[in-house]
Structure 1
Amino acid sequence: MQIHIILVSPARPENVGAAARAMKTMGFASLRIVASNAHLQPEAGWVAHGSGDILQNAQHYESLADALVDIDFTVATTARSRARYHYYYTPQELESQLQEKQQWVNHVALVFGREDSGLTNEELELADVLTGVPMVADYPSLNLGQAVMVFCYQLSSFNQSAQKIAANAQPGQLAALGERIDRLVDKVGAKEDQKLTDWLHQRLGILQQRDAAMLHTFLHDIEKKLHESEKKCDE
């Protein structure tokens, strides 16, 4: 399993440099930048201090959706749980989720939002689960570099072990389940029930490997029965 750090539209080069330094210190290497060139500014390199290779090798994308094309499991950070029905984990709880998935998930993204406004609701909806740092301040706030450090620190030991384990799975299992669910919901005429569709998709993020396999089997059986019924109606 490889964990990718994604920064969405970072405005301050110094924050990107601090994030790169946190990554390097804790053993992370893959940085993706969305809709920003802050990592190319000299100020980012000044703060990065010894982690310039992470900035130099950072991949750039025009949108978060583009940055997630090859990602199997997406975790979005937010100061509060704003997306409808999303499952929310603390950094400690997130680690236990990733430990279960390290045998069958290849690429994980940990997504951080803008310094001033975080991630939009539309961007949060691209995630499988949400996470955040519990804080006691009246006005809870961490700057971008601090937030990246908290998660990199929490996941450092796990990340080192996960990199040594080859995931025993084909890429995109959760995405494939989502597509099958969409087709089935459409076929049974429940497409207009947005609440149901949202709930089904967001449950996928907390499935364990056995659950995902059983759900694939169950959906296959339903699709087979529906196909048989359609054939009888055509006769």
Structure 2
Amino acid sequence: MGFPIILVSPARPENIGAAARAMKTMGFSELRIVASDAHLQPATRWVAHGAGDIIDNIKIYPTLADAVDDVDFVVATTARSRAKFHYYATPEQLVPLLHEKQQWMGNIALVFGREDSGLTNEELALADILTGVPMVADYPSLNLGQAVMVYCYQLASLMQTKPVAAVSGQHQQLDALRHRISALLENLNVADDNKMSDWLTQRLGLLEQRDTAMLHRLLHDIEKKLAE
């Protein structure tokens, strides 16, 4: 299973180096960067110390949408509630959720936002689930390198698990489910009910494979009935 770490518009090369070092320590190897060339500065390698192979193989993308185009499940980190998203998982809660996803998805991405402003609402909308680190301090902030280390440490067990060969097409079930639900809401003339639409969209990322398959069956029956 692929598990790329994605940094969106990182400004400080030291943070990129620290992220690469954390990844290397915990068994992650693929680093993607969106809209930044800060990794080209010497400070990146100075801080990366021993993780030069990760720096050498960084993949660059113009937008986050491009960076996750081949990803089956997107986890986005955020320090605060943004826009319409309300469902979060702590790093610890992500472990069993992503272990289950490993059984039927090809790759999962973990996305980190800008040092000063995080991810935009449009970027957060690309995520299947949001995650944040519970903080005790009055000013809840981790720098980028620290945040990557926290998640890589917590999720390191995923890199040690031998993935089960998924049945062809299973990894596309979640995306297909979103399209079917959107079409159904349009058909029922309730697509403008933002509260219901947002709730459905947000909850889909929490579904296990068998729940996703069962919901597909239910939607099929509903669609068939509406077509009569």
TM-score tier, shorter chain, comes to over 0.9
Q: Is the CA contact (8 Å cut-off) linking 1:39 and 1:55 kept in structure 2?
A: yes
Alpha-carbon separation, structure 2, partners of 1:169 and 1:98: 19
Alpha-carbon separation, structure 2, partners of 1:169 and 1:142: 39
- More deviation, 10-19/33-42: 33-42
Map residues 144-183 of structure 1 onto 2, 5 A cutoff.
Answer: 144-162=144-162, 164-170=163-169, 171-183=171-183
TM-score normalised by length of structure 1: 0.92
TM-score normalised by length of structure 2: 0.95
Counterpart secondary structure, 2:6 = strand
Q: Does 1:138 align with 2:129?
A: no
Q: Is the CA contact (8 Å cut-off) linking 2:13 and 2:39 kept in structure 1?
A: yes
Map residues 60-139 of structure 1 onto 2, 5 A cutoff.
Answer: 60-139=60-139
85 and 116 in structure 1: CA distance in 2 versus 1, 3 angstrom threshold: closer
Deviation for aligned residue 1:104: 1.0
Alpha-carbon separation, structure 2, partners of 1:127 and 1:86: 12
Counterpart secondary structure, 1:210 = helix
Name the aligned partner's letter for residue 12 of structure 1.
R
Q: Is the CA contact (8 Å cut-off) linking 1:105 and 1:169 kept in structure 2?
A: no
Name the aligned partner's letter for residue 208 of structure 1.
E
- More deviation, 15-24/94-103: 94-103
- More deviation, 110-119/122-131: 122-131
Q: Is the CA contact (8 Å cut-off) linking 1:91 and 1:133 kept in structure 2?
A: yes
Counterpart secondary structure, 1:3 = coil
Alpha-carbon separation, structure 1, partners of 2:143 and 2:80: 15
Q: Is the CA contact (8 Å cut-off) linking 1:103 and 1:168 kept in structure 2?
A: no
Counterpart secondary structure, 1:16 = helix
Map residues 204-215 of structure 1 onto 2, 5 A cutoff.
Answer: 204-215=204-215
Alpha-carbon separation, structure 2, partners of 1:92 and 1:169: 30
Alpha-carbon separation, structure 2, partners of 1:86 and 1:32: 26
What's the RMSD between the two structures over aligned residues? Answer: 1.4
Alpha-carbon separation, structure 2, partners of 1:175 and 1:86: 20
What's the counterpart of residue 44 of structure 1?
44
Q: Is the CA contact (8 Å cut-off) linking 1:18 and 1:48 kept in structure 2?
A: yes
Alpha-carbon separation, structure 1, partners of 2:222 and 2:41: 54
Query: What does the per-residue CA deviation read over 1:41-72, in whole Å, with 9 as the maximum and x for residues that have no partner?
Result: 22111111111111111111111111111111
What's the counterpart of residue 185 of structure 1?
185
Alpha-carbon separation, structure 1, partners of 2:86 and 2:25: 31
Name the aligned partner's letter for residue 128 of structure 2.
D
Alpha-carbon separation, structure 1, partners of 2:96 and 2:168: 19
Deviation for aligned residue 1:147: 0.3
Gaps of 5+ in 2: none
Deviation for aligned residue 1:157: 1.8
Q: Is the CA contact (8 Å cut-off) linking 1:103 and 1:169 kept in structure 2?
A: no
Deviation for aligned residue 1:198: 1.1
Identity %: 68
Instruction: Report how many aligned residue pairs link the two structures.
Output: 227
Alpha-carbon separation, structure 2, partners of 1:213 and 1:86: 24
